[in-house]
Amino acid sequence: KAGVTQTPRYLIKTRGQQVTLSCSPISGHRSVSWYQQTPGQGLQFLFEYFSETQRNKGNFPGRFSGRQFSNSRSEMNVSTLELGDSALYLCASRSAGGRYAEAFFGQGTRLTVV
């Protein structure tokens, strides 16, 4: 059974640009969550999608957005990139119900903003 797949693995972007990251969950999993990891703030929750609906959102500015497709694949978008957006972005998938189920993470996308 394939794990959680995130693409691309690495990205370098310029300040002011936008970026889209992709996450394909484990087959059969309908819940996808996104997390940002930085040395200063640690691992922080961005948002969670279940059946194409955002169920929860963390404390991030509106420049961070996401969506989920009918096949449960999810994308997150960051517009008007800032240097502080440089981070490892991790995606997690959970089984059908989502809540309180075991979360499995992808390998992450490492974003560098220059």
Partner 1 sequence: GIQVEQSPPDLILQEGANSTLRCNFSDSVNNLQWFHQNPWGQLINLFYIPSGTKQNGRLSATTVATERYSLLYISSSQTTDSGVYFCAVERKSSGDKLTFGTGTRLAVRP
Phi-psi region of 16 (alpha: psi -120 to 50; beta: other; left: phi over 0): left
Site for partner 1 in 14-33 (CB under 8 A): 31, 33
How many whole angstroms separate alpha carbon 59 and alpha carbon 48? 12
> How many other CB atoms sit within 10 Å of the CB of residue 94?
21
Binding-residue pattern over the window 40 to 79 for partner 1, x denoting contact by CB under 8 A: --xxxx--x-x----xx-x---------------------
CA–CA dist 22, 68 (Å, integer): 10
Closest C-alpha among 38, 30, 29 to residue 108: 38
Residues contacting partner 1: total by CB under 8 A: 28
Smallest separation (angstroms) from partner 1 to the CB of 55: 5
Query: Which has the closest alpha carbon to 18: 67, 73, 85, 68?
Result: 85
Task: Report the residue number, 8 or 16, with the smaller CB distance to partner 1.
Answer: 8
Candidates 92, 93, 111, 113; binder of partner 1 (CB under 8 A) is: 92
Q: Which is nearer to partner 1, 14 or 100 (CB)?
A: 100
Name the site residues for partner 1 (rule: CB under 8 A): 31, 33, 35, 37, 42-45, 48, 50, 55-56, 58, 88, 90, 92, 98-108, 110
